[in-house]
Amino acid sequence: MKALLFDGQLLFQDTLPTPSPPDGEALVRVRRAGICNTDIEITRGYMNYRGVLGHEFVGELADGSRVVGEINASDGTCDTCQRGDMTHCDHRSVLGILQRHGAMAEYLTLPVANLHRVPDAITDAQAVFVEPLAAACELTERVHVRPSQRVVVLGDGKLGLLVAQVLQLTGCHLSLVGRHPRKLAIVEKRGIHVLADPAEGFRRFDIAVDCTGQPSGFSLACQLLRPRGTVVLKSTFHGAQELALTPLVIDEITVVGSRCGPFEPALRLLEHHLIDVEALLDAQYPIEQGVEAFRRASTPGTLKVQITMGT
């Protein structure tokens, strides 16, 4: 099969064997896959991963039904799984990230329990956004966001724009910090306030969400928080960062990590047209041009780039 493989460098291959699903898993024919910032960070050394890239996808089963898939494959038996934290399974594999070939290929396998049917009202291009939209929805699972609260999102990339749209549905007093006028216009069109100068928000916000994908994002988020505020970290990147922890103690700041999220709410939001993802799609490339697609996705200012399998 055709696939995009990372083995220290990014390569297109057309001779990889089609995977054979083990018991409890299904073979999925991939229709489209999305390039995520995590995929780009993997090519820079994140997670030390080697294999087929990609974890955002829409595909179809043998019966022709379209599906999207949760990316964490758990064993269901460890103590972590038994207490209900399946996405943190001690022995999990993660699609295109950890010990499992990913979605930038003509076929993939995932546990049947991970798959979700895609409603007819959702297009293939929209369905590729389910995984990152689910990650945005996880924020409100981890933190109770009240309509009376002031909330700021840092970062106008793909995830930041999705997070902002999800948070808008809570009715909170919402602002977004970013650097790209074209991207900021997407949320401004939806009535979300853009904070042009972050200094104007110093110690004003109850919740700050870091979606910058940069080491500096955490520090800025803390500067914008009032005492006893909450910072939510959504960024993952390759490399280390220096943290000044004393201010967190003095201001009694709560730090919350937030990663993968629930697929069913994300599918409902898309089905009912409550989230705009079309504005986030910048380009699409056939799998044969996957290396070029990554170059485009890595260009500053680019939003979502998708890869089509021609199926």
- pLDDT 10s per residue in the chain (311 long)? 999 999 999 999 999 999 999 999 999 999 999 999 999 999 999 999 999 999 999 999 999 999 999 999 999 999 999 999 999 999 999 999 999 999 999 999 999 999 999 999 999 999 999 999 999 999 999 999 999 999 999 999 999 999 999 999 999 999 999 999 999 999 999 999 999 999 999 999 999 999 998 888 999 999 999 999 999 999 887 777 788 899 999 999 999 999 999 999 999 999 999 999 999 999 999 999 999 999 999 999 999 999 999 85
Of the candidates 66, 65, 61, which has an alpha carbon nearest to the alpha carbon of residue 109? 61
Domain 3-132+261-308 has CATH 1.10.357.10: no
- From CA 218, how far away is CA 264, in angstroms rounded? 30
Q: Is 142 left (phi over 0), alpha (psi -120 to 50) or beta?
A: alpha
Angle between the N-to-C axes of helices 181-188 and 158-168, in degrees from 0 to 180, rounded to the nearest 10? 20
145 contact partners, CB below 8 Å, separation of at least 6: 139, 151, 167, 170, 172, 207
- The pLDDT assigned to 200 comes to 93
- The pLDDT assigned to 161 comes to 98
Write down the pTM of the prediction.
0.96
Give φ, ψ of 13 to 5 degrees: -130, 150
- The pLDDT assigned to 15 comes to 95
Q: Is the dihedral of CA 118, 124, 126, 131 positive or negative?
A: positive
Burial class (CB in 10 A: 0-12, 13-18, 19+), 124: middle
* Helix, coil or strand: residue 12: strand
Homologous superfamily (CATH) of 144-257 is: NAD(P)-binding Rossmann-like Domain (3.40.50.720)
Which pair of structure tokens corresponds to residue 264?
């069913």
287 contact partners, CB below 8 Å, separation of at least 6: 2, 3, 4, 12, 104, 105, 106, 307, 308, 309, 310
Ranges of each domain in the chain: 3-132+261-308, 144-257
Asked if residue 117 lies in contact with residue 95, where contact means CB atoms within 8 angstroms, the answer is no
Of the candidates 11, 6, 8, which has an alpha carbon nearest to the alpha carbon of residue 290? 11
- From CA 127, how far away is CA 298, in angstroms rounded? 22
- The pLDDT assigned to 311 comes to 57
User: Beta strand 225-233 with 205-210: parallel, antiparallel or unpaired?
Assistant: parallel
